[in-house]
């Protein structure tokens, strides 16, 4: 009996010892990060850090002014995208990687003192958004169509669209965009250009039909957007007396023009409505969210989709959310279309774009961004929707902005990849061709004079086959996306 007891005790001790066996220590690996001259890696930081096996680490490389990110080199076998400044690496071994930067084709000019505060604010806003998007995105590239505005076919030009040389300018621009790697364009057909009683309406219709042929011959996707022409502003010579319209007749006329576009011009995407509060500002008409939704629903019922047309609607990210809320679950609306300009403090309008895109995808809809550009304004300047539009837009012409324009373009492409957007377009095509030098440009010009100077400079570069540093950056970015 004593022997049995001793055996039981021994077994218990063995079992107890087995139960107390320490868990194996997790395998750990080191990640060493360095940067070449011209940039840094704030996330997770330069130097050496230790991580458990299998950990996915976010990498974020930031170029300094006058430089751009090129790629990651070294032990990059588990880097998700070696050509993206914002990506991830999975720790399956000890790795040493380098973030490579080179000087931009032209060093960015110094920032004038009066714009330093705006410049710093915009950098902070983008840095805030980049943290947000990195928490959302798995850093895989999507199939987004990257597009630009077809500047020489914008309806705000008015009768200039019917001039002798305009089609040749558009052909040159389309060829340049295609060579840049752009896969789509946005065509702004403003109301009431196609209204039957508008002067030369049939000629405008034929012009836009011809433009569509030119785009499709180059295998470019086309998104058409409408809305009121910018009559009475420096952005259009057309004069319209909007007091001859009521809200009802304006929206009915806009619906008739949209139906004509679908039937005759046949784009790939047709945005029925965007920026409702801009429409109110231009026409001085009242368009409530309910009226806006009814207009979109009515147009959807009547539009011809027989050619595979995708139809969408949306708002600017800075506008009253009540205008977009009903669109997410609107039957027959194929996509939600966003306009992205101001970011505001902590990039709240970019966060809103992200949330809108997520909500749209959850509702089974596609997402497009038919207009986007970096709005050079501080939060204090945005008290009235987007602030003093002319004053802010006049800032876009100067070349010292282009490092921020590059960064904004990359952020928007990252947003598109993170939310699987169909189509994203950048607005100021002219800045892909040229900027103006701040020191040599008079600073007391009117908006029309600034526009004339930058348009002349961009056309001259188009004719010479030259791109601005921003255009070169976009070309390289699109090439990297194609080869990834």
Partner residues linked to 69 by β-bridges: 101
Q: Rounded mean pLDDT of the chain? A: 91
DSSP state of 261: I
Q: Would the pLDDT of 183 be above 70?
A: yes
CA quadruple 275, 278, 282, 285: dihedral positive or negative? positive
Q: Would the pLDDT of 196 be above 60?
A: yes
Question: What pLDDT band is residue 161 in, cutting at 50, 70 and 90?
Answer: very high
Q: Would the pLDDT of 268 be above 90?
A: yes
Q: Would the pLDDT of 125 be above 80?
A: yes
Question: What pLDDT band is residue 387 in, cutting at 50, 70 and 90?
Answer: low
**Would you list the DSSP string of 69-82?**
EEEEEES-TTBS-T
Q: Would the pLDDT of 425 be above 80?
A: yes
Q: How far apart are CA 102 and CA 28, in angstroms?
A: 33
The two structure tokens encoding residue 383: 């008290």
pLDDT above 90 covers a percentage of the chain that reads 79
Q: What is the mean pLDDT of residues 145-152?
A: 98
Does this model's pTM top 0.85? My answer is no
Task: Confirm if 180 and 172 have CB atoms less than 8 A apart.
Answer: no
The two structure tokens encoding residue 453: 């100077």
Q: Where are the alpha helices (DSSP H) in 377-446?
A: 389-394, 402-419
Task: Confirm if 395 and 115 have CB atoms less than 8 A apart.
Answer: yes
pLDDT at 6: 44
Question: What pLDDT band is residue 5 in, cutting at 50, 70 and 90?
Answer: very low
Task: Confirm if 100 and 72 have CB atoms less than 8 A apart.
Answer: yes
Q: Where are the alpha helices (DSSP H) in 342-401?
A: 348-362, 389-394
Question: What pLDDT band is residue 127 in, cutting at 50, 70 and 90?
Answer: very high
pLDDT above 70 covers a percentage of the chain that reads 93
In angstroms, how far is CA 465 from the centroid of its own chain? 25
28-35 vs 95-103, strand pairing mode: parallel
Q: Would the pLDDT of 3 be above 50?
A: no
Question: What pLDDT band is residue 262 in, cutting at 50, 70 and 90?
Answer: very high
Report pLDDT digits (tens) over 427-459. Answer: 999 999 999 999 999 999 999 999 999 999 999
Report pLDDT digits (tens) over 82-100. Answer: 878 888 999 999 999 999 8
145-149 vs 423-426, strand pairing mode: parallel
Domains of the chain: 29-103 (no CATH), 113-483 (3.20.20.80)
Q: How many helices (H) and strands (E) does the chain have?
A: 13, 15
pLDDT at 2: 42
């Amino acid at each position: 009996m004593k022997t049995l007891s001793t055996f039981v005790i021994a077994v218990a001790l063995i079992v107890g010892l087995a139960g107390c066996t320490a868990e194996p220590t997790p395998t750990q690996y080191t990640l060493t990060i360095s940067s070449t001259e011209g940039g840094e890696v704030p996330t997770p930081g330069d130097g050496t850090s230790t991580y458990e096996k299998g950990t996915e680490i976010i990498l974020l490389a930031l170029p300094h002014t006058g430089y751009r990110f090129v790629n990651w080199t070294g032990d990059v076998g588990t880097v998700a995208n070696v050509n993206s400044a914002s990506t991830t690496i999975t720790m399956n071994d000890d790795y040493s990687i380098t973030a490579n930067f080179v000087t931009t084709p032209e060093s960015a000019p110094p920032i004038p003192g009066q714009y330093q505060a705006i410049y710093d604010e915009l950098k902070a806003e983008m840095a805030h958004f980049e943290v947000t998007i990195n928490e959302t995105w798995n850093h895989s590239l999507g199939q987004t169509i990257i597009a630009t505005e077809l500047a020489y076919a914008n309806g705000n030009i008015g009768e200039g669209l019917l001039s002798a040389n305009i089609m040749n300018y558009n052909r040159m621009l389309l060829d340049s965009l295609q060579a840049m790697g752009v896969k789509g364009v946005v065509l702004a057909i403003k109301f009431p250009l196609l209204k039957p009683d508008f002067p030369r309406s049939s000629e405008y219709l034929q012009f836009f039909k011809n433009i569509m042929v030119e785009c499709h011959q180059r295998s470019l996707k086309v998104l058409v957007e409408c809305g009121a022409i910018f009559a009475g502003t420096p952005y259009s010579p057309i004069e319209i007396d909007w007091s001859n319209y009521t809200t009802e007749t304006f929206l009915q006329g806009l619906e008739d023009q949209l139906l004509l576009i679908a039937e005759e011009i046949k784009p790939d995407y047709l945005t029925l409505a965007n920026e409702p509060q801009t429409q109110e500002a231009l026409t001085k008409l009242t368009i409530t969210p309910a009226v806006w939704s009814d207009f979109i629903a009515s147009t959807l019922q009547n539009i011809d989709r027989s050619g595979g047309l995708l139809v969408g609607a949306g708002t600017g990210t800075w506008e009253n959310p009540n205008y977009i809320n009903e669109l997410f679950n609107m039957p027959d609306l194929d996509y939600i279309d966003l306009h992205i300009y101001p970011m505001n403090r902590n990039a709240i309008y970019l966060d809103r774009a992200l949330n809108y895109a997520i909500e749209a995808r959850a509702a089974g809809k596609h997402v497009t961004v038919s207009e986007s550009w970096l709005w050079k304004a501080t939060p204090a300047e945005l008290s009235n929707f987007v602030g003093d539009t002319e004053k802010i837009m006049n800032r876009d012409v100067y070349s010292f902005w282009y490092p921020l324009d590059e960064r904004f373009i990359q952020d928007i492409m990252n947003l598109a990849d993170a939310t699987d957007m169909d189509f994203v377009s950048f607005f100021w095509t002219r800045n892909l061709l040229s900027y103006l030098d701040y020191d040599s440009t008079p600073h007391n010009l009117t908006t029309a004079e600034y526009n004339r100077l930058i348009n002349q400079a961009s056309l001259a570069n188009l004719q010479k086959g030259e791109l601005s540093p921003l255009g070169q950056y976009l070309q390289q970015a699109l090439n990297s996306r194609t080869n990834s």
